[in-house]
Structure 1
Amino acid sequence: MQLKQLLICISLLAGLAGCALSAEKLPVLGEPQMMKKMVDGKEIEELVYPTIPDFSFTNQEGKTVTQRDVDGKIYVADFFFVTCPTICPIMKKNMLEVYQAYKDSPDVRIISHTIDPEHDTPAVLKQYAQDIGVTGDTWQFVTGNRETIYDIGEHHYLVTAKADSTAPGGYIHSGAFVLVDKEKHIRGMYDGTTEEGTKKLIADIKKLRDEYR
Structure 2
Amino acid sequence: MKKVIYLFMIAVTITACKEKPNKLPIYGNRQAIKRIIDGKPTVDTIYQTIPAFSFINQDSVIISNHLFDGKIYVADFFFTSCPSICPVMHRNLMKVYEKYKGNNEVMLLSHSIDYKYDVPQILKRYATKLGVTGSQWQFVRGPKESIYGLAKNNYLVSVGEDSKAPGGYVHQGYLVLVDKQKRVRGAYDGTKTEQVEQLMSDMDLLLAETKQDQ
TM-score (norm 2): 0.88
Q: Could you tell me which residue of structure 2 aligns to residue 154 of structure 1?
A: 152
Please, what is the CA RMSD of the aligned residues? 2.3
1:21-44 alpha-carbon deviations (Å, 9 max, x no partner): x52111111121223445446664
- Cα 1:41–1:162 shift into 2, 3 Å: farther
Deviation at 1:147, TM superposition (A): 1.1
Q: Could you tell me which residue of structure 2 aligns to residue 3 of structure 1?
A: none
Q: Could you tell me which residue of structure 2 aligns to residue 92 of structure 1?
A: 90
1:61-82 alpha-carbon deviations (Å, 9 max, x no partner): 0111111100000000000000
Q: What SS class does the counterpart of residue 206 from structure 1 fall into?
A: helix
Letter of the structure 2 residue corresponding to residue 159 of structure 1: V
Letter of the structure 2 residue corresponding to residue 19 of structure 1: K
Q: What SS class does the counterpart of residue 82 from structure 1 fall into?
A: coil
Q: Could you tell me which residue of structure 1 aligns to residue 137 of structure 2?
A: 139
Question: Unaligned 5+ residue runs, structure 2?
Answer: 1-6
- Cα 1:166–1:43 shift into 2, 3 Å: farther
- Cα 1:37–1:162 shift into 2, 3 Å: farther
Q: Could you tell me which residue of structure 2 aligns to residue 192 of structure 1?
A: 190
Task: Determine the C-alpha separation between the residues in 2 that align with 1:137 and 1:68.
Answer: 14
Matched ranges for 1:103-142 at <5 A? 103-142=101-140
Deviation at 1:47, TM superposition (A): 2.1
Q: Could you tell me which residue of structure 2 aligns to residue 81 of structure 1?
A: 79
Q: What SS class does the counterpart of residue 55 from structure 2 fall into?
A: strand
**Is 1:19 the counterpart of 2:18 in the alignment?**
yes
Task: Determine the C-alpha separation between the residues in 1 that align with 2:164 and 2:12.
Answer: 57
Q: Could you tell me which residue of structure 2 aligns to residue 202 of structure 1?
A: 200
Task: Determine the C-alpha separation between the residues in 2 that align with 1:38 and 1:150.
Answer: 39
Letter of the structure 1 residue corresponding to residue 96 of structure 2: V
Give aligned pairs, total: 205
36, 44, 47: which one aligns with 2:45: 47
8, 13, 27: which one aligns with 1:29: 27
- Cα 1:42–1:16 shift into 2, 3 Å: closer
1:74-98 alpha-carbon deviations (Å, 9 max, x no partner): 0000000001111001001000001
Q: What SS class does the counterpart of residue 195 from structure 2 fall into?
A: helix
Q: Could you tell me which residue of structure 1 aligns to residue 62 of structure 2?
A: 64
Task: Determine the C-alpha separation between the residues in 1 that align with 2:45 and 2:118.
Answer: 39
Letter of the structure 1 residue corresponding to residue 133 of structure 2: T
Q: Could you tell me which residue of structure 2 aligns to residue 4 of structure 1?
A: none
Task: Determine the C-alpha separation between the residues in 2 that align with 1:106 and 1:57.
Answer: 21
Q: What SS class does the counterpart of residue 83 from structure 2 fall into?
A: coil
Question: Unaligned 5+ residue runs, structure 1?
Answer: 1-7
- Cα 1:39–1:203 shift into 2, 3 Å: same
- Cα 1:129–1:17 shift into 2, 3 Å: same
Deviation at 1:46, TM superposition (A): 2.4
Q: What SS class does the counterpart of residue 142 from structure 1 fall into?
A: strand
